[in-house]
Amino acid sequence: MKNSSSSPLFVQLGALILFFLLSLLRSPVTASAEIGFMSPELAAFKARWLMAKNNWGILSTISVDLGGAPFGNVVSFSDGEPGHGFGVPYFYLAKLEPKGGYEINGTRAALTVSEDPLGTCRKDAQNPNCSRISLTGKLKWISLENPEIKFAQVALFTKHPEMKDWQSYRSFQIYKLDLEDIFLFYLFGSPMHLTPKDYLKVPPI
């Protein structure tokens, strides 16, 4: 039991090989949903693949303007340069509320991303064969003095070249999602729950 929880190298390698074999099929998600079982290691790979390949999602927040009602914003994100995604999404945001420009730093949020825009699922977007992920946590401002800013800028500007032009709008600032919980949806019913530790230990994708 200790071995399986500490995930030794051969387990990770095994999951990597399984993931590669499944990816030879049209979509890794299709294959696994048909099989109907996914190990935590494979789920973590899938989650990281979905985040590394995708460019946008929807940030759910609780709106002050709307008296505490849920609200959603379409946001572009990046977890690193192509091929070097580390799993933590960075954003370039000005405001998230319909009207007011409240403090974004520290805001509770969930980023939800669908496999649909990747073109790898041929099913309905709500079919579990078309995977999706929801990452929850708090938005954290990355100041220009923070050493992390360089990584974040390269991550965002390589995947979203247009964002360079947005620098002239001083209201745009870089934030990341400080991860708390990760939920991968791949079968009807409850999503697979991953901890940030499970999710972040996958090598860069």
**Is 153 a binder of a second copy (CB under 8 A)?**
no
Site string for a second copy, 73-112 (x = CB under 8 A): xxxx---------------x-x---xx--------xxxxx
Helix, strand, or coil (residue 185): strand
**Is 17 a binder of a second copy (CB under 8 A)?**
no
User: In the structure encoding, which two tokens stand for residue 46, read together?
Assistant: 């899938």
Rounded distance between C-alpha atoms, residue 78 and residue 90, angstroms: 5
**Is 160 a binder of a second copy (CB under 8 A)?**
yes
Per DSSP bridges, beta strands 108-114 and 132-141 are antiparallel
Rounded distance between C-alpha atoms, residue 15 and residue 42, angstroms: 6
Rounded distance between C-alpha atoms, residue 190 and residue 42, angstroms: 17
**Is 164 a binder of a second copy (CB under 8 A)?**
no
Shorter beta-carbon distance to a second copy: residue 16 or 97: 97
Tell me the window of 13-21, 22-30, 42-50, 57-65 that interacts with a second copy (CB under 8 A): 57-65
Tell me the window of 10-18, 32-40, 177-185, 195-203 that interacts with a second copy (CB under 8 A): 177-185
3-state secondary structure 30-66: HHHHHHCCCCHHHHHHHHHHHHHHCCEEEEEEECCCC
Query: How far apart are CB 26 and a second copy at their closest, in Å?
Result: 16
Interface with a second copy (CB under 8 A), residue total 51
Rounded distance between C-alpha atoms, residue 87 and residue 95, angstroms: 23
Chain residues that interact with a second copy, rule: CB under 8 A: 55-58, 60-62, 66, 68-76, 92, 94, 98-99, 108-112, 114, 116-117, 123-127, 130, 132, 134, 136, 160, 162-163, 169, 180-181, 183, 185, 188-191, 193
